[in-house]
Amino acid sequence: MTTTTLFYDAYKEARTRLDLVVQLIHENDLAKKLDASPNSCGFLMRHIGDVELLFSKNVFKMHGVEVKAQTVIDRKDTGDWNNLVELKYYLDHSFNTLLNAIAQQNAEEWTAVIETKEFGKKTKAEAFGRIISHTAYHAGQLAMIQKYGK
């Protein structure tokens, strides 16, 4: 098994946490927030997709990726993310794009250093850890908001 295959398989498995939560989300859940939380379910779903696409483009240097990461640009929930079908489609698209970007990496590229304004200089392997933890973190938030939010 190659290094790239291991990373690819690891992200597919890590993403199952989010996929299980998203299956439980209904349209009326999208506006839910926890009392002290600034983010709704809809915002978090869009944000996860935005960041997966940003990673594909900026970390893994996948050509042809177009992303307008509105949740990153706005830095707050604007209440715009309220179409469940569109959000699920966006998450499927961002996931498949990221998997394709991971699959295009060769073994040497995982040790290449990249730099972003969000987290500075890291190897692609270190940055990969960041996207796994980012998705899992927000999947947990999404589950809590869906279950306990109003």
Taking alpha carbons only, the member of 99, 104, 107 closest to residue 131 is 99
Which stretches within 32-123 are classed as H helix? 41-54, 70-74, 84-103
Helices 41-54 and 124-148: crossing angle, nearest 10°? 170
Task: Supply the range of the domain harboring residue 134.
Answer: 3-148
Rg (C-alpha) for the chain, rounded Å, is: 15
Checking if the pLDDT of 119 tops 90, the result is no
| 134 pLDDT more than 90 | yes
Question: Which DSSP letter does residue 35 get?
Answer: T
Q: pLDDT tens digits, residue range 58-105?
A: 999 999 999 988 888 888 899 899 999 999 999 999 999 999 999 999
* Number of domain units in the chain: 1
pTM: 0.94
The C-alpha atoms of residue 140 and residue 119 are separated, in whole angstroms, by: 22
For residue 7, the domain's CATH number is 1.20.120.450
- Arithmetic mean of pLDDT, 37-65: 95
